[in-house]
Amino acid sequence: MEKLSRDINTEFEEMYVPKEELNKRVQQALEMGQKRERKRSSRMQAWKVNIAAVLVVGIIAVLFQNDLWNNDSTTGFGNEQGILYMYGGPGIKQVAQEGRVTTLDLEQEIPEMEISIKEAYFDAGTALVGYQIKAREAFNGNMLAFLSAQSDKDYRYITSRGLDVEAQQGEEGIFYFPNSAELIKNEDFHLRLVFILNGEVKEVNFQFEMKGEPMLVEKEVGLRAENETGAWFRVDRVKETVSEFRVETTMDFPEISEFPEETSIHTLLIGYSKDGTIKNAPQVSSSFSYNHYDKEYYTHTEAYAPLRDIETTKVIPYLRKWNVDPIIQPLKQGTILTTERGQIRVDSMKVIANEIIVKLAKGNVPAEYAASFIQLSDSDKYWYTSSYFQENGNFVEVSFPIKGKKDNLEIIYHPIEEFFEDLAVELE
């Protein structure tokens, strides 16, 4: 069988950039930028080339075309405020809710724009800086961000993105510097932003303090489960920081001669609490590949937001097709969700403050299955993920935090191909 590789990893890798390389890379980006045409297709192609030219990687950023001059960055939901919460993944949202983000509100300016560094966070796995740009005039070009400890600037983390902003509009997002464990012993930082705009190079500098979250757990696991068909699943190793829990696994299906097309392996990370509540860790990223050496097997890596306040943890594998759309139905008593394991029926709903508890009659469907592949949607089409669930006989009660309108709610089921509760591995 040919090697089959399916990689949907959403993360990036860090780069260390020596000082002597900086001018060379900026010049390369400048030369490439000068050759760009004004057409959007040409700008997009040049941007791809610029990424390779300056050897930079990923940024999480959200471009919005609104007047920013009088608007603050806030979701409007209590402590769920700020750029890192709005645009960060599940683990970053969690640390923002827990008050671990450093508020900065630093400002610099160049003739074309005002640049604000709103907040920052770092732990043994990642460093993030939330920024906001307010444009005085239209411009397009590149922005390079260099993050280093003030005590050691010979090497720094670098990320980049393209800019194409209209006058009186702007952009906000997150500079993302992954795998920044070398920074964890520092508290004083230097952020250098280099702008390559319309053939000119301009820069601003920020200095700030923030305390890191040093917790880092890395360990080999090697726990394995096998079912009656001979299929087996093994948790190879785990890595945990304050904002992420990563699990590397291997799986084999002896009865399958060829893996199904457009199908990939995923895992659930389930936490069980003292009070009987069960939590499904939100997924951050996933990668899956097929390997052929002496035997066939499948490797998989999944990253999640960490689970807090739990006693035991299980990793459960499942299969999902890539091109299957979610099934959306009205949330009301009697609604039937048809799954590959049987029917799930909406029994009742109960609203408590900003929470709605949906009671599902699951029959013989495992509780982890019944609760983990559904979401709710409100009348503003905002999707909600469950915060916890509880099993009670043939029923499972699933709790959803609801911040929007509670009328005209819909229930969303994300179909899966196969669920392997008999291959669940409990982590020590």
DSSP characters for 83-121?
Answer: HHHHHS-HHHHHHHHTT-PEEEEEEEEETTEEEEEEEEE
Inside any domain, residue 86: yes
Query: pLDDT (tens digit, 9 = 90+) per residue, 328-359?
Result: 999 999 999 999 999 999 999 999 888 999 99
Inside any domain, residue 376: yes
Are 280 and 396 in the same domain? no
Buried b (16+ CB within 10 A) or exposed e, 258-290: ebeeebbbbbbbbbbbeeebbbbbbbbebbbeb
Note the pLDDT of residue 67: 32
Inside any domain, residue 145: yes
Inside any domain, residue 274: yes
Check whether 106 has a pLDDT greater than 80: yes
Mean pLDDT for the stretch of residues 388-409:
89
Query: pLDDT (tens digit, 9 = 90+) per residue, 118-165?
Result: 999 999 989 999 999 998 888 788 889 999 887 665 557 788 878 777
Domain count, the chain: 3
SS3 category, 180: coil
Among 66-75, 81-90, 173-182, 185-194, the minimum mean pLDDT is found in 66-75
Are 69 and 184 in the same domain? yes
Inside any domain, residue 8: no
Show which of 209, 238, 254 is a domain's final residue: 209
What's 381's domain CATH number?
2.60.40
Are 307 and 358 in the same domain? no
Are 312 and 396 in the same domain? no
Show which of 302, 322, 342 is a domain's final residue: 322
